[in-house]
């Protein structure tokens, strides 16, 4: 927003004083209006137009929303009719906020300004410089409760909803209907959809949402809410935005990285003269997976009872919803991290806001294409640490699962010659279904959280730990950072440069990612989104750093005590550098892990032995020979990359078939599930113009990589 005024003035100069001579070079047929002039010409929107002339773009700008609607741009406007606005004012009367449904009834100017802002700023999405970011119906999300890729002017993302069996009936934020006739109205600078209800999310914090449930005795999540309150989690769930970062950003104390290519970065996306922009906000977020009151009533627990927390804790104890390795208390000090109820309820909470269409990331996995986004293929998985003690939660979606599940452990056709697909799932490993479209699903009305009902209870019990311990845990680099999901950075669905290249400033300015420390002041760190760029990365995106970089990451926990490998995937290019890796549990004193890795070397050059790619590839070889090659590579601390992600320009070529890609085995040692581990990447070169590359890492237990009966799969 701090760059908005310059862009707006440039656009306005192109259109002002030339109403009859508008440049029509980029005009669709029958476009005769700007968004502002179209709304002006239709009496149904007169109240809305009046409001746009009173609402400014920011507190530090005198530019009104109406003015931007007269200028060049790519806007999507969900314009409420006069009747919709009057109905909204009626609702404010019912809430006791005003005495009568008129603008004159506001006695508080601050409240009046706030209501105007709610109506106007929630109704408009700024598509930036790209005409493809004008959202006609054809470009709407197609899965219920999925969010639009870009935020509205109120910095919130709207959601799509269509009742089953009635595809012509479309709602924004689930209950705001779009007129079935007056939609897709295309004008010079965008598209307009007529609304029969004002889009006005309640915008309460997660804590306030659950407190309201308790105060009103509303069933649905009443049991869950009482447990959250008893465990003292309301203060945590009240956090919405980092105001310190907000102040630093607004005062230009948080810099952007200007002309990042001049620093030494390589970039295939074609934006070589661009700046990499720092995030505008640092919001806090949460995702809660909750058992419903209907479930608890089936278990004999009345949500309205006065001792619900005690009853739920006893239920957890009686049904062994914990691990024998856990140490806990069962008294009524529920706010203690050692309390059983506290440990159980915090396993239901992720410290990030995951929107409904991004619980997992379908992108470039084998057999999948973005052009057919709901035709799934091989499993897509995310592993996230939960709140509370060190624990992992697995989210998975497969072609056969018919939705996203928590802690599902299916049987896969994952042999060397297999398909990678789920073929079946044992009854005791199905996991818990995450309902993303139920009436109890909350994705709009809580400012800092999403709440999803689940069909089975979840816990970090021995069965879950054991099943996780039998899996290779592959975590994308950006999955390490809750802020990346909450602030819409990871896998933003936009090719616009501000979303494609995100600069994360060094710690000397501010520590943006809580799980990352930038140890040297001259480190320049950029997240390359890679959306529709066809990079051969896991979910296409990557993280890179330039300078005398020195960066440390906090890693997710391991599920069981045992021996694990930590692996690091690379993709070789001449622009990469040489990195020394450190690993351990003391972030202030990490020991060296192996020899430096030359990231300019692909698998063949890293392996040496006068090898060639023809001697290492899987092509035209039987399984026994492939296994022998893989064994020899492992003896050198190397592995081929996974048969998971593909290059979009060649959807049959996976990373395992790419000689540039390989996995380096960084350490192999005994690890403790209750310990926190860190990995550090430090340049060993004098040059400050060679890249650090980061795609994904893996935990792999000995039970997987050294299993005599079932060798580790290639996927």
Domain assignment of residue 656, yes or no = yes
Separation CA 203–CA 600 (nearest Å): 48
Whether 144 and 211 map to the same domain: the answer is no
Residue with tokens 């700024």, as numbered in its chain: 126
Q: 514 and 624 in one domain?
A: yes
Q: Is this structure's pTM higher than 0.85?
A: yes
Same domain, 40 and 187: yes
216, 236, 220: which is closest to 228 by C-alpha? Answer: 236
Same domain, 430 and 366: yes
Averaged pLDDT score across all residues of the chain: 94
What the block records as the tokens of 219 is 């069933």
pLDDT per residue over 612-631, tens digit each? 999 999 999 999 999 999 99
The CATH code of the domain that includes 70 is 2.30.180.10
Dist CA 467 CA 703 (whole Å): 11
Task: Give the pLDDT of residue 2.
Answer: 52
Q: Are residues 308 and 360 in the same domain?
A: no
715 within domain boundaries = no
In this predicted structure, the answer to whether residue 526 has a pLDDT above a threshold of 60 is: yes
Look at residue 534 in the predicted model and tell me its pLDDT. Answer: 81
Domain membership flag for residue 263: no
φ, ψ (nearest 5 deg) of residue 293: -65, -30
pLDDT for residue 166: 87
Assess whether 428 and 328 both reside in one domain.
no
* Helices within 455-601 (DSSP H only): 462-469, 482-486, 497-500
In a domain, 711, yes or no: no
- State the number of CA atoms in the 13 A half-sphere of 416 facing the CB: 19
Chosen domain end from 153, 170, 195:
195
Report residue 268 as tokens.
């295939």
In this prediction, residue 32 has a pLDDT band, given cuts at 50, 70 and 90, of confident
Instruction: Give me the DSSP letters along 336-355.
Output: STTBHHHHHHHTTEESS---
- DSSP H or E run through 41: none
Task: Please tell me the distance from the alpha carbon of residue 234 to that of residue 215, in angstroms, as a whole number.
Answer: 14
In a domain, 276, yes or no: no
Clarify whether residues 523 and 600 are in a common domain.
Answer: yes
- The boundaries of the domain holding residue 463 are 356-442+456-469
Whether residues 571 and 602 share a domain: the answer is yes
Mind listing the pLDDT tens digit for each residue in 160-191? 999 987 888 999 999 999 999 999 999 999 99
CA 278 to chain centre: 17
Assigned domain for 201 exists: no
Residue range 270-281: mean pLDDT, rounded: 82
Say if residue 211 is in the same domain as residue 325: yes
- Tokens coding 639: 């592995």
Of the pLDDT bands very low, low, confident and very high (cuts 50, 70, 90), residue 273 is: low
pLDDT digits (tens, 9 = 90+) for 427-467: 999 999 999 999 999 999 999 999 999 999 999 999 999 99
Identify the domain boundary among 349, 371, 386. 349
Quick check: is 157 in a domain?
Answer: yes
* Residue 71 counted as domain residue: yes
Which value, to the nearest 10 degrees, does the dihedral of the CA atoms of residues 37, 41, 45, 47 take? Answer: 80
Q: What is the pLDDT of residue 20?
A: 32
Number of domains making up the chain: 4
Rounded Cα gap, residues 523 and 508, in angstroms: 10
Q: Which structure tokens are listed for 483?
A: 């802020």
Report whether pLDDT(288) > 80.
yes
Same-domain pairing of 417 and 494:
no
Considering the domain architecture, whether residues 555 and 699 belong to the same structural domain is answered as: yes
pLDDT digits (tens, 9 = 90+) for 239-251: 999 999 999 999 9
Of the chain, the end-to-end C-alpha distance in Å amounts to 43
- If asked whether residues 308 and 406 sit together in one domain, one would say no
């Amino acid at each position: 927003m701090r760059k908005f005024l310059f862009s707006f003035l440039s656009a306005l100069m192109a259109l002002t004083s030339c109403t009859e001579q508008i440049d029509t070079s980029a005009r669709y047929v029958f476009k005769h209006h700007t968004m502002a002039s179209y709304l002006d010409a239709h009496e149904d929107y007169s109240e809305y137009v009046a409001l746009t002339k009173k609402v400014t773009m920011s507190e530090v700008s005198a530019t009104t929303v109406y003015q931007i609607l007269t200028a060049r741009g790519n806007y999507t406007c969900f314009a409420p009719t006069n009747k919709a606005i009057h109905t909204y004012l009626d609702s404010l009367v019912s809430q006791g906020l005003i005495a009568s449904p008129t603008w004159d009834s506001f006695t508080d100017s601050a409240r009046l300004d706030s209501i105007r802002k709610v109506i106007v700023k929630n109704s408009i999405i700024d598509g930036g410089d790209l005409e493809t970011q004008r959202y006609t119906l054809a470009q709407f999300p197609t899965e219920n409760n999925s969010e639009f890729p870009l935020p509205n002017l109120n910095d919130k993302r709207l959601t799509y909803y269509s009742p089953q069996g009635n595809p012509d009936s479309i709602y924004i934020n689930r209950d705001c209907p779009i007129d079935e006739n007056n939609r897709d109205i295309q004008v010079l600078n965008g598209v307009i959809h007529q609304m029969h209800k004002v889009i006005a999310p309640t915008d309460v914090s997660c804590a306030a949402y659950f407190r309201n449930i308790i105060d009103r005795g509303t069933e649905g999540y009443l049991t869950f809410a009482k447990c959250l309150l008893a465990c003292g989690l309301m203060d945590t769930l009240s956090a919405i935005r980092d105001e310190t970062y907000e102040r630093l950003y607004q005062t230009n104390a948080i810099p952007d990285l200007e002309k990042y290519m001049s620093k030494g970065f390589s970039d295939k996306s074609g934006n070589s003269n661009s700046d990499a922009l720092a995030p505008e906000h640092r919001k806090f977020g949460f995702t809660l997976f909750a058992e419903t009151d209907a479930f608890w009533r089936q278990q004999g627990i009345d949500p309205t009872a006065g001792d619900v927390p005690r009853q739920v804790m006893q239920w957890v104890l009686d049904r062994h919803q914990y691990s024998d390795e856990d140490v806990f208390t069962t008294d009524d000090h529920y706010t203690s991290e050692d309390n059983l109820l506290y440990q159980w309820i915090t396993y239901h909470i992720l410290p990030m806001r995951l929107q409904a269409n991004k619980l997992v990331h379908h992108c470039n996995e084998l057999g999948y294409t973005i052009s057919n986004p709901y035709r799934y293929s091989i499993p897509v998985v995310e592993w996230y640490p939960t709140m509370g003690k060190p624990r992992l939660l697995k989210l998975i979606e497969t072609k056969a699962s018919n939705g996203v599940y928590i802690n599902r452990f299916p049987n896969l056709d994952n042999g060397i010659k297999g398909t990678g697909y789920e073929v079946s799932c044992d009854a005791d490993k199905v996991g818990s279904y995450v309902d993303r479209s139920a009436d109890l699903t909350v994705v709009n009305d809580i400012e800092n959280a999403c709440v999803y009902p689940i069909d089975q209870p979840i816990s970090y019990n021995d069965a879950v730990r054991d099943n996780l311990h039998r899996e290779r845990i592959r975590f994308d680099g950006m999955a390490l950072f809750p802020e990346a999901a909450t602030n819409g950075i990871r896998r933003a669905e936009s090719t616009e440069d501000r979303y494609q290249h995100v600069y994360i400033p060094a710690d000397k300015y501010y520590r943006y990612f809580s799980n990352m420390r930038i140890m040297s002041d001259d480190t320049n760190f950029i997240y390359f989104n890679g959306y529709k760029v066809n990079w051969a990365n896991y979910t296409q995106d990557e993280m890179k750093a330039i300078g005398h970089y020195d960066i440390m990451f906090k890693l997710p926990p391991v599920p069981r005590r045992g021996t694990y490998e930590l692996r690091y995937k690379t993709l070789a290019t001449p622009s990469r550098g040489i990195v020394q890796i450190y690993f351990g549990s003391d972030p202030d004193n990490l020991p060296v892990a192996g020899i430096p890795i030359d990231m300019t070397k692909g698998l063949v050059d890293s392996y040496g032995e006068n090898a060639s790619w023809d001697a290492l590839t899987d092509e035209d070889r039987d399984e026994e020979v492939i296994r022998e090659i893989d064994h020899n590579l492992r003896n050198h601390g190397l592995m081929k990359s996974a048969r998971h992600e593909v290059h979009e320009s060649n959807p049959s070529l996976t990373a395992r078939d790419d000689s540039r890609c390989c996995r380096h085995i960084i350490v192999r040692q005994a690890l403790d599930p209750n310990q926190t581990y860190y990995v550090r990447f430090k340049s060993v070169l004098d040059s400050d113009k060679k890249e650090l590359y980061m795609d994904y890492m893996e935990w792999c237990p000995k039970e997987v990589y050294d299993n005599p009966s079932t060798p580790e799969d290639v996927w």
